[in-house]
Amino acid sequence: MLAVERMKLFTTRSPWWCALVALATTIGFSALVVGNADDGGEFTATVASTQFGYSFGMAVIMVLAALAVTTEYRFGTIRTTFQAVPNRAAALVAKTTVVALVALVIGELSAFGSWALALVLKPNAPLALDTAADWINVAGVGAIYALAAVIAVAVGILLRHSAGAIALLLIYALAVEDLIRLIPSVGDDIYQWLPFNVANKFLTGDGASNMGRNVDAGAPMSTAALSQGWSLAYFAAVAVALLAIAVATARKRDA
């Protein structure tokens, strides 16, 4: 099933284009931030600033993941899949696994590509991966991309419509969580537990990879109350829970 899902994914154009756009967007935004950083000033390039564009690439990855499942519903090929594999849960988990692994690879390529380009642009900046915080800030992007892909697949299974799934994912990831902070009294408290804010806490931690400089030199800091390790576990739990709901729903309804 994994081999079949791999072939289905890579024999269409959209995953290739999404992968290229994710890499170009992430590395491009990071290059802009690092290229305009000071040399030795408050906005000196740091490891955190090399990952400034990861959220833009994550949005593209979620589009890729949503299309991987909604395209099958659109063209009716999901019926053939379920006829060949009557165990719908196994088929959908196999698809999710392949998409998540692809997202993991793209995430690592974009993260280390951004960091490597920063080394070329600012060879004298403190960009060495000397601490655990530095490594998490870079290598952790792949894990976040993979879990974001699982969430996107789950939403695609639930909605079964490409435009609707993509619109919902992008609006939520890029706007809704920040807008919730505007709710009087309780907005900030709710925001602390929203999944993508928590995922950002895993990457940025307490800002150690910013080396104490202005936080604007890197990705925005998270307000999540959890530690880095628990933040990753929380984000993973949200992804797995959504996938479980989606699979259970797919098993009960007509293809």
DSSP 187-253: HHHHHTT-HHHHHHHHHHTTSGGGTTS-GGGSSPPP--SS-HHHHHHHHHHHHHHHHHHHHHHHHHS
Are the CB atoms for 173 and 155 separated by under 8 Å? no
Could you read off the pLDDT of 32-46 as tens digits, one per residue?
888 887 766 566 788
Q: How confident is the model at residue 198 (pLDDT cuts 50, 70, 90)?
A: very high
* Assigned token pair, 180: 């919730």
* Assigned token pair, 220: 């925005």
Statement: residue 208 has pLDDT above 60: no
Mean pLDDT of the chain: 88
- Look at residues 195, 203, 12 and name the one whose alpha carbon lies nearest to residue 114: 203
Residue 14 confidence (pLDDT): 86
Residue 85 confidence (pLDDT): 87
Statement: residue 213 has pLDDT above 60: no
DSSP state of 40: S
Please state at what angle helix 132-159 crosses helix 195-204, rounded to 10 degrees: 160
Could you read off the pLDDT of 89-137 as tens digits, one per residue?
999 999 999 999 999 999 999 999 999 999 998 888 888 888 888 899 9
Q: What is the CA radius of gyration of the chain?
A: 19
* Assessment of whether the complete model's pTM goes beyond 0.85: yes
Tell me what the mean pLDDT of segment 230-248 comes to.
96
Helix, coil or strand: residue 44: strand
Tell me what the mean pLDDT of segment 23-38 comes to.
87
Statement: residue 218 has pLDDT above 60: no
Place of tokens 């284009």: 17
Helix, coil or strand: residue 78: helix
Helix, coil or strand: residue 86: coil
Are the CB atoms for 34 and 49 separated by under 8 Å? yes
**Can you give the residue ranges of every domain in the chain?**
2-252
- What's the rounded Cα separation, in Å, for the pair 241 and 239? 6
Are the CB atoms for 235 and 202 separated by under 8 Å? yes
Residue 119 CA, chain-centre distance (Å), reads 24
Place of tokens 């259970």: 248
Beta bridge partners of 44: 38
* Assigned token pair, 242: 């959504």
The sign of the dihedral angle between the CA atoms of 113, 119, 122, 126 is: positive
- Look at residues 142, 140, 148 and name the one whose alpha carbon lies nearest to residue 205: 140
